[in-house]
Amino acid sequence: MRTVKILVVCGTGIATSTVVSRKLEEKLSKEGFEVSTRQCKASEVSANLEGIDLIVSTTPISGELKVPVVRTLAFLTGIGEDQAIEEILQKLRGGDKVKKEDVRKDNKNFYERRNSNDIK
């Protein structure tokens, strides 16, 4: 099972991103991924990129980002969820170059950070 870290972005980091996070965890676990999500506001994306494999956003985000971005409303509207998951899977698999070890190491850091200073 591959672990992926997804940054879920919306206007508040609270509202629609919570919905999308739960949906991603549910859908991607069926595809054999262990998903850990972090939520943030669109204006805070660049500060939250460390260790992130993919950004899924419900709102426009700007700036130069080194991480692939999927902007979708499918998980809110319930329309086109399958295509959105397909796109996300494609981007995740495209990023397979990252070694599993590294992914795990980063992930440990991610949890440490999460426990120490963030209530996500």
Partner 1 sequence: MTLNDIISGLGVTVLLPVILFVLGTFFRIDVKRLFRSAVLIGVGFIGINLILGYFLNNLAPAAQKMVEFTGVNLPILDVGWPAAAAIAFAGKIGLFVIPITVLVNFLMYVLHLTDTIDVDVWNYWHFAFTGGLVYALTNNLWLGMLASAIDAALVLVLGDWTAPAVQQYYGIPGISLPHGFSAAYVPIAIPINWLLDKLHLDKIQADPESIKKKWGIFGDPVIIGLVLGLVVGFLGNLKTLNDAKSWFNILQLGMSMAAVMYIFPKMVSILMDGLIPISEGVRDFMKARASGRKFYIGLDSAIAVGTPAAIASSMILVPIAIILMVVIPQNRMLLAVDLAVLPFMVVMTIPITRGNILKTVIIGTIIIAVGLLIGTSLSPLFTKAAIQAQFKMPSNATQISSICDGSNPLTWFIVKLINSWYGVVILLVVLVLFLYFYRTHSKVWEKIAGAVEVTEENK
The Cα-based distances of 104 to 30, 42, 55, 70, 75 in angstroms read: 20, 26, 18, 23, 27
Active site residue 40: no
Q: Measure the CA–CA gap between 117 and 3, rounded to whole angstroms.
A: 22
Would you count residue 65 as binding partner 1 (CB under 8 A)? no
In the set 2, 25, 48, 59, which binds partner 1 (CB under 8 A)?
59
Provide the mask over 15-54, with x wherever binding to partner 1 is found by CB under 8 A and - wherever it is not.
xx-xx--x----------------x-xxx-----------
Extract the runs of DSSP E, i.e. beta strands, from the chain: 2-10, 33-41, 54-57, 69-71
Nearer to partner 1, 19 or 89 (CB): 19
Looking at residues 84 to 113 of the shown chain, list those that interact with partner 1 (rule: CB under 8 A): none
Would you count residue 13 as binding partner 1 (CB under 8 A)? yes
Catalytic residues, by residue number, are 10
